[in-house]
């Protein structure tokens, strides 16, 4: 029998307490969202709703078009991620496999562009979107974000690690650059692509400030914007606001439970290079 170390037990307890503190806001969000107004405003607070109710959710979906927000968020996330991935794959391929004069110089310029804070760009991007006639459309939430240098950088590094001999082999087998990319490189890079796709999808889903600038009508709001606007509709009724927050957060929690490993790898791989 292995002796159970007292220190180990203490460590587990400390980690558990810490973990609980970290997710507590979300637990509290879910609990509060199922309380009645009266219970939510009672002191001392109850740790579990006496009479769990989904009424706040019903209210949220009725008062504000959360279903529509949800749909918009989904469209924006899926399209933006799809287009971004497509662009990223092609661009990473260009800068890792193809040859043309000035390739390395252009790429290092691109890398240095990464340090431009996004907020610096909104001043002009707002005008550009308006001029393109895309103000108050879902496209305005997608188009400016489809060229990510950061993801290209990560993917290019991965592409560079694929041996040249595979490329030459494929070329001799008769494959064009395009066929090689989609038949060989992309399948091999699948884990990296999944990671990048997940990170991108999360960013899209949570994106907020830009949508406030370029979306005017209720119909084109995404979830975070919708939730923010919900404050006006729900007033300071936290049980309702928590129901609204849950609608935004729960899909992400589910995604995270399933894809934690890929997301964490992506963050740890890309974190220090960005």
Partner 1 sequence: MAEKKVRKYKDSDEKITAKSLITPFLFSFPFMVGLLIFTVYPFIRAVLLSFMEDYRFLSGKFSGYGLGNYTAIFNDPNFINALKSTTKYVLIVVPTSLAISLLVAVGLNSVKKLQGLFQTAYFLPMVTSATAVGMIFRWLYDFDYGLFNYFLGFFGVDKIHWLADVKYTMASICIYGIWSMLPFTIILLLAGLQNIDPIYYTAAKADGAKAKDIFFNITIPLLAPTIVLTSIVNVMSAFKVYDSLFVLYGAKPGPAFNLYTVIYYLYDQFWNKNKLGYAAASAMVLFAIIALFTLLQNLVTRKTNYYN
Partner 2 sequence: MKVTIKDLTKRFASRDKTGETVTAVDTLSAEFESGKLIALLGPSGCGKSTMLNMLSGILPVTSGKIYFDDKDVTELSPDKREVGLVFQNYALYPHMTVLENICFPLKIKKVRKEERIAKAVEIAKMVHIEDYLKRLPKELSGGQQQRVAIARALVKQPKLLLLDEPLSNLDAKLRIEMREEIRRIQRESGVTTVFVTHDQEEATSISDYILLMKLGVMQQFSATRDIYNNPANLFVADFIGNPTINQIHGVYVNGGIKPDGSDEIIPCSIKANENDRVVLAVRPESVLFEGGQTTGTVNDMYSSGKDWLVNFNIGDTELRGYCDADYNVQEGSVIKVGFRDKGQFLFNEETGERY
Contacts with partner 2, residue ranges (CB under 8 A) = 163, 165-166, 168-176, 179, 183-184, 187-188, 190
Q: Is 218 in the site for partner 1 (CB under 8 A)?
A: no
Separation CA 254–CA 21 (nearest Å):
20
Continuous H helices in 41-189 = 55-63, 66-96, 103-113, 118-131, 139-142, 149-160, 164-172, 177-180, 186-188
Q: Which does 183 bind (CB under 5 to 8 A by kind): partner 1, partner 2, none?
A: partner 2
Separation CA 55–CA 36 (nearest Å):
8
Q: Nearest approach, Cβ of 49 to partner 1 (angstroms)?
A: 14
Residues of this chain, 93-132, that bind partner 1 according to CB under 8 A: 93-95, 98-101, 103, 110, 113-117, 119-125, 128
Q: Is 15 in the site for partner 1 (CB under 8 A)?
A: yes
Q: Is 153 in the site for partner 1 (CB under 8 A)?
A: no
Q: Which does 102 bind (CB under 5 to 8 A by kind): partner 2, partner 1, none?
A: none
Residue showing tokens 């579990």: 48
Q: How many residues bind partner 1 (CB under 8 A)?
A: 89
Q: Nearest approach, Cβ of 32 to partner 1 (angstroms)?
A: 7
Residues of this chain, 181-210, that bind partner 1 according to CB under 8 A: 202, 205-206, 208-209
Q: Is 146 in the site for partner 1 (CB under 8 A)?
A: yes
Separation CA 244–CA 253 (nearest Å):
15
| Nearer CB in complex with partner 1: 41/216 | 41
Q: Nearest approach, Cβ of 182 to partner 2 (angstroms)?
A: 11
Burial class (CB in 10 A: 0-12, 13-18, 19+), 126: middle
Buried b (16+ CB within 10 A) or exposed e, 204-224: bbebeebbeebbeeeebbbbb
């Amino acid at each position: 029998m292995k002796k159970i170390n007292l220190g180990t037990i203490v460590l587990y307890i400390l980690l558990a307490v810490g973990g609980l503190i970290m997710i507590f806001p979300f637990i509290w969000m879910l609990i509060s969202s199922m309380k009645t107004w009266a219970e939510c405003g009672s002191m001392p607070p109850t740790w579990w709703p006496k009479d769990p109710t989904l009424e706040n959710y019903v209210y949220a979906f009725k008062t504000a078009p959360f279903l529509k927000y949800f749909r918009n968020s989904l469209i924006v996330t899926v399209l933006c991620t799809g287009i971004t991935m497509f662009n990223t794959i092609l661009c990473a391929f260009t800068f890792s496999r193809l040859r043309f004069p000035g390739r390395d110089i252009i790429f290092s310029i691109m890398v240095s562009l990464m340090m431009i804070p996004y907020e610096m760009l909104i001043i002009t991007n707002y005008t550009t979107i308006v001029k393109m006639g895309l103000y108050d459309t879902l496209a305005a939430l997608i188009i400016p974000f489809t060229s990510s240098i950061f993801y290209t950088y990560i993917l290019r590094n991965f592409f560079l690690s694929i041996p040249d001999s595979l490329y030459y082999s494929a070329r001799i087998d008769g494959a064009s650059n395009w066929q090689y990319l989609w038949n060989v490189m992309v399948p091999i890079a699948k884990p990296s692509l999944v990671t990048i796709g997940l990170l991108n999808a999360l960013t899209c889903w949570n994106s907020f400030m830009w949508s406030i600038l370029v979306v005017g009508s209720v119909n084109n709001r995404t979830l975070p914007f919708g939730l923010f606007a919900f404050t006006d509709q729900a007033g300071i009724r936290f049980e309702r606001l928590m129901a609204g927050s849950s609608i935004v957060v729960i899909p992400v929690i589910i995604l995270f439970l399933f894809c934690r490993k890929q997301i964490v790898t992506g963050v740890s791989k890309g974190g220090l290079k960005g």
